[in-house]
Structure 1
Amino acid sequence: MKSSTKYLKILFNYLFAIIIVCLVLFVLPWALAFFWPFVVAAIIAAIANPLVRFLERKMKIRRKAGSIVVIVLTLAAVAAAVYGIVYLLVTEIVGFFSSAPDMWAKVNSSIRAITAEIGHRFALLPKGTRDFFDNLGNNIYDSLSSVGSSIGERAAESASNGVKNAPLFLVGIVMCVLASYLFVAEREQIAKFVSRIMPEHLTERFNIVTKTMKSAVGGYFKAQFKIMGVVYIVIFIGLLILRVKYAFLIALLIAFLDFLPLFGTGTVMWPWAAYALVQRDYKFAIGMMVIWGLSQLVRQLIQPKLVGDSLGMPAIPTIVLLYVGFRVGGAMGLIIAVPIGMIVYNLYRAGLFSNFIYSTRMLLNDFRRMRIFTSEELKQEGIEETDTGFTNKDI
């Protein structure tokens, strides 16, 4: 291979990699948000297509008719589930906010009582130490008050934005339903059209990416949602036994925290148990710790079986991904960092980055050859290799 041709290929591979990275980082998120009805429709179609194929082969129902039946049933099931969940959430959220002033007054009085008791016990300490603890208690109280007010303001702002965007959301729902039907009913025609306009090597790469997405992201999130569901059931039953108000909502929030890496159920349940101990409600504190222990035990028992080899990544890259995801995107970054890493890792194993890796290795080899002097070059300069005590292989 000529030197100019080789470096031209290397330059092209690097430019291609830069373009792909820019598209993934900047264009893809915008495109997914803008075309969300069609993205959701594609997911619904992927779920409904096996059922349509079953109706088409076993029951001899035409694909378009079967598509209508399955799409309607799927959307009806999803709508019923969403309606039930939203109804329960709204009921408990309304009840929670209606009783929030009384709950806050109780928490406030408890904080004041704890502060007074601490101040009484530290009365014998020097004045500077007492002032420090007094300021600490006041700062904690002010922080809690500001957090409560900011949550209320954000909730009101979110509700206002939701009302403004409701018409656009309804249009998106209609487009999603229509696209779901067309994706299922016209699946064969769409596949033929794509295979006709796309080159064969791009079709192969696309199939690799699709398979990787299904196995990596689908398997990971499916396992995590199953674990979250089991943990939610354990916490919900435990809170019902302890007669906690709004058990459905609280258990759902705790289970969601358990879904997030680096958090877990202890983020809420440990401080709650500590607060119960301060209130001398030992029965409730013990019950809370029992619920936490059971949820963690159940999670550790079912996690190996459900997750299994869905990650398919070494431990150290996984930890690095979690850290980078948290620094870049916070809690959402923690959720999506591992699936993104799984996709990249599986694409690497499938050979999609081979040309970029080969280009890098060629550049490094050329750099090494440029750095090292040959024996002939040293002789031309009047230098013997033995004068340095090293050979070229040692350099």
Structure 2
Amino acid sequence: MNLDKSFWSEVLNLGIRNIWLYSKVQVKIIGLIYILLTLGLWFIGYGAWSLLIALGISILDIVPVIGAGIAFVPWIMWEWIAGTASQGWWLLLLYVGVEAFKQLIEPYFLGKDMELPFWLPFVITIGCGLIFNIFGIVAAALIIPFLSAYRQVRKTYDK
């Protein structure tokens, strides 16, 4: 197969569109995390404040690697030190549950929306993280859309 200039321009154009698709996937995930956090915080006993707290933590969850831990870790530690250890344990359970959910659902959405095997975004993110450290997460966010574009364009050229 001859991969000419038009092939690579199609990959570039589709890759740029896939970056927007990747962003939409991240917004979906943030929305789901917001709902889970709101329900979890409401259950723990934060009442109407759950809506606002969950919004803040969901926004913080965008930060690569650290994410919601920026808010949860000091909050959990404070609860333990302040003598409300049971509240701290509930928060820890919520934090771990939401993060596990995010790690499971993100490859699924990326794979479904970008026509990739569900495991490939996970492997790329882990590999880029190991190679490039924290910058690997940003690199993976660029590699995944362009890899998807390459696979999609290659499929049309193979027909």
TM-score, reference length from structure 2: 0.65
Quote how far apart the aligned CAs of 1:203 are. Answer: 6.5
RMSD value, Cα: 3.4
Q: Percent identity?
A: 22
2:96 aligned residue (270, 283, 293): 293
**Aligned residue runs from structure 1 range 185-334, under 5 A:** 205-215=8-18, 217-244=19-46, 246-308=49-111, 309=116, 311=121, 314=124, 315-317=126-128, 319-321=130-132, 323-324=134-135
- Higher relative contact order, structure no. (Cα contacts within 8 Å, ≥ 6 residues apart): 2
Equivalenced residue count is: 140
Alpha-carbon displacement from aligned partner over 1:237-267 (angstroms, at most 9, x marks no partner) = 1222334363323212212232322113233
Distance 1:231 1:267, change over 3 A: same
Quote how far apart the aligned CAs of 1:306 are. Answer: 1.5
The answer to whether the 8 A contact 1:313-1:345 is kept is no
The answer to whether the 8 A contact 2:129-2:135 is kept is no
The answer to whether the 8 A contact 2:37-2:98 is kept is yes
Structure 1 stretches lacking a partner, 5+ long: 1-200, 326-333, 352-395
Distance 1:213 1:298, change over 3 A: same
Q: In structure 2, how many angstroms separate the alpha carbons of the residues matched to 1:277 and 1:312?
A: 34
Distance 1:242 1:313, change over 3 A: closer
**Aligned residue runs from structure 1 range 307-386, under 5 A:** 307-308=110-111, 309=116, 311=121, 314=124, 315-317=126-128, 319-321=130-132, 323-324=134-135, 336-342=138-144
Distance 1:291 1:225, change over 3 A: same
Quote how far apart the aligned CAs of 1:303 are. Answer: 2.9
Alpha-carbon displacement from aligned partner over 1:27-74 (angstroms, at most 9, x marks no partner) = xxxxxxxxxxxxxxxxxxxxxxxxxxxxxxxxxxxxxxxxxxxxxxxx
Which has the higher Rg, Structure 1 or Structure 2? 1
Quote how far apart the aligned CAs of 1:319 are. Answer: 4.1
Q: In structure 1, how many angstroms separate the alpha carbons of the residues matched to 2:22 and 2:29?
A: 11
TM-score, reference length from structure 1: 0.30
SS at match of 1:239: helix
